Chains A and B, each alone.
Chain A
Amino acid sequence: MSVQMVRLENVIKEFDDSIVVDNLSLDIRAGEFLTLLGPSGCGKTTTLRMIAGFEKPTTGKILLNGKQVDDMEPYKREVNTVFQSYSLFPHMTVFDNVAFGLKMKKVGKEEIKERVTKALKLVQLEEYGNRKPKQLSGGQQQRIAIARAIVNNPKVLLLDEPLGALDLKLRKQMQLELKHLQQTLNITFIYVTHDQEEALTMSDRIVVMNKGKIEQIGQPVEIYERPQTRFVADFIGQTNIIEGTVSEINGDLATMEFAGQTIQIPNANHVELNEEVFISVRPEKMKVSRTPFEGAINLKGTFKEKIYVGSVTKIVVTMPNGKNLTINESHDKIEDLTDTSDELFVSWKPIHSVVLKK
């Protein structure tokens, strides 16, 4: 797993006067499912396009399997792309679409037939070879686009928001199928998406990008449970960001002043006395009750509203300084919390406070 497949070294990409990718360095291992995640305009698609060869980095190096490729034409690179809009050739049959890459490589007719059939079988569309792409549904076209790419046995498969145009249910299904496909084929997948749930579901590692820079690289669980920056905490899932001043440091723990109350925080990031810090606490790590919990952080506030969203009920509690905190509770536990004047305690364990870098 530790063989390096793709390496980006200090890659900068400028368009006109704006810097789209800003000094990005990244190592991608062989056989890894890596996701570039970020809001639109964060440079994730440009990064992918530079690996594919459709854009050349302004400065910096791109290595593919140890070979420097940043000046190599796309058709010479051992990578294949699954495009956002599928980009199937409308004038060719499904079979000819999938066979295109092999024909370009002058593979023998018999072998082409064999490999295309196998690829179509892999995406469960072996009976659709004679159709034109327009005659297929969006999900089927998506599968053909994947078959067309993987039939070439690429070293790396690049996927640019490939599920963006599908409806939610099909998207969920395709997420699992893609993940299984990746494990079966053992190809390195580089996947671009702005959908954090998709990234968490499929990836071995996630690269969270913002404004052309990497905010954090890590496994899904690290990204979600231990976000390092305010941006990552905010972008991935829902969270409560609480800002306060460090008033005491005591070994592994520190104390932070917030709205006239104190919050104990882990001192993993080595905060300093009187430093302004942000912490992130996920709504599902918090509880509400009328009485404080022992051995936990308890913040006093007033009940504002509750929103039923199906699996949980969201409770909004207003702190004395006006800041709202959102807590996820199971519906049956909070049926009696309806009086808006109620004083409530918001509680969580100190280990669930994640201290964020500025």
Chain B
Amino acid sequence: MRPKTKKILFSFSLLVFLFFYIPILFVIIFSFNDSKLGTVWTGFTLEWYGSLFQNKQLISATMNSLYLAVVTTIIATILGTLAALALHRYTFIGKKSVEFLFYIPVVIPDIVVAVALLAIYGLLNMSLGLNTAVPGHVAITISYVMLVVLARLSSFDSSLEEAAKDLGANEWQTFWKVTFPLIFPGVLAGALLAFTISLDEFVISFFTLGPGDNTLPVLVYSMVRLGVSPEVNVLSTIIIAIMFIVVFFVGLRMRKGGTAK
């Protein structure tokens, strides 16, 4: 590449990174800000970190979010992986249509899913609670899991399964000893995607949660309506830190898995 082109490309990349990370950096810095208004720097404090952990509302919302994310991830990962295996392995009438139906939730607006679920719950006369958000979360994450696992399966050599059976492994053993370990990176990636999407989900949660049940995004939304409090900054900082650590370790693991292949 020519030096000049390289320079332009570098500057451009830098700008993109700054655009991504400066707001996040501000959030982190202002989580240590002494001022209650959060727009002017007045001094360093850890006060908000302390008060966050006293905030019962926030803690219960965090627990709700984690609960929803874990349940969603488990259901979506199992169903999505099974769907991917079925689509990969079998040919049946209407297979293309079924595959197409799995792409729909990726492009459909969340609000549609939310309203539809609400309508069904109304029809069934169900009262809303924490678990009424689960179907919506699963509905929007299952496609991602399926797509990621399907992508992994497309590079999977099915003669390996034949080799396992040839060596005396039944269907069950073949799956757990050969198929699953080899598609595991895809399953893990799908699960992480489902987890983060669920953790982040606002619209469906907002519509389908019971009146007393908040998730983090829903709670933060109600908090910022009264102005960005330093506690929100602290919460964001902690979430950023956790996600950073998770992504770092997953990346490390994937890399190791990659070379071991």
- Taking beta carbons and an 8 Å cutoff, which residues of A are in contact with B? 52-54, 73-75, 79-81, 83, 85, 87-91, 100-101, 104-105, 132, 134, 148-149, 152
Contact A91:B181 (CB < 8 A) given known A75-B168, A75-B170, A83-B163: yes
Name which residue of chain B comes closest to A90, CB basis: B261
B159 at the interface (CB under 8 A from A): yes
Check B169 against A89 for contact (C-beta < 8 Å): no
What residues of A have a CB within 8 angstroms of the CB of B261 in the complex? Answer: 90-91, 132, 134
A190 to chain B, nearest CB (A): 13
**Would you give 7 A-B contacts (Cβ < 8 Å), ordered by A?**
A52-B166, A80-B167, A81-B162, A101-B167, A105-B168, A132-B261, A148-B167
Residues from chain A with Cβ under 8 Å of B260 in the complex: 91, 132
| A90-B182, A91-B261, A132-B260 as given contacts; A85 in contact with B157, CB under 8 Å | yes
Interface residues on B, range: 10 to 19
Flag if A87 contacts B167 (CB, 8 Å). Answer: no
Given contacts A89-B178, A90-B261, contact A75 B165 (CB under 8 A): yes
Residue of A nearest to B162 (CB): A54
CB of A339, distance to nearest CB on chain B (Å): 57
A80: chain B residues within 8 A (beta carbon): 166-167
Known interface pairs A73-B170, A104-B173; A87-B165 also in contact (CB < 8 Å)? no
In the complex, B160 has a CB within 8 A of chain A: yes
Q: B164 within 8 Å of A by Cβ?
A: yes
Chain B residues contacting A52 (CB-CB under 8 Å) are 162, 166
Using an 8 Å CB-CB cutoff, how does the interface string of B225-261 with A read, 1 for contact, 0 for none? 0000000000000000000000000000000000011
With a cutoff of 8 Å between Cβ atoms, the chain B residues found around residue A74 in the complex are 162, 165-166
Shortest Cβ distance from A81 into B: residue? B166
Q: How far is the CA of A74 from the CA of B171 in the complex (A)?
A: 10
CA–CA, A80 to B162, complex, Å? 11
Nearest chain B residue, comparing its CB with the CB of A160: B159
Q: Are A152 and B167 in contact (CB under 8 A)?
A: yes
Closest to B257 in A: A91
Note all chain A residues with C-beta closer than 8 A to B167.
75, 80, 100-101, 104, 148-149, 152
**Contact of A73 (CB < 8 Å), options: B157, B165, B181:** B165
Q: How far is the CB of A12 from chain B (nearest CB, A)?
A: 22
- Which 5 residue pairs across A and B have the least CB separation, nearest first? A101-B167, A104-B168, A87-B163, A74-B165, A87-B159
Which residues of B in the span 173-201 have a Cβ within 8 Å of any Cβ on A? 173, 177-178, 181-182
Partner of B163, one of A53, A89, A132, A152: A89
Assess the A101–B182 pair: CB atoms within 8 A. no
A91 and B177 CA atoms in complex are apart in Å by 10
Q: Could you tell me the distance in whole angstroms from the C-beta of A278 to the nearest C-beta in chain B?
A: 41
B164 & A100 in contact (Cβ 8 Å cutoff): yes
Residues of B within 8 A of A104 (CB): 167-169, 173
Complex Cα gap A73–B172 (Å): 13
Closest to B182 in A: A91
Chain A's nearest CB lies how many Å from the CB of B253? 14
Which A residues are CB-close (under 8 A) to B164? 89, 100
CB neighbours (8 Å) of A79 from chain B are 166
Determine the distance from Cα of A53 to Cα of B160 in the docked complex, in whole angstroms.
15
Separation of A74 and B166 alpha carbons in the complex (Å) = 6
Contact A87 B157 (CB under 8 A): yes
B168 touches A87 (CB 8 A): no
Across the interface, name the chain A residue whose C-beta is closest to B168: A104
Residues of B within 8 A of A90 (CB): 160, 182, 261
Residue of B nearest to A133 (CB): B261
| Residue in B162, B173, B177, B181 whose CB lies within 8 Å of A87 | B162
A87, B260: Cα distance in complex, Å: 17
Looking at the assembled complex, report how far the CB atom of A334 sits from the nearest CB atom of chain B, in whole angstroms: 50
B159 and A85 form a contact (CB under 8 A): yes
Residue of B nearest to A87 (CB): B163
Nearest A residue to B169 via CB reads A104
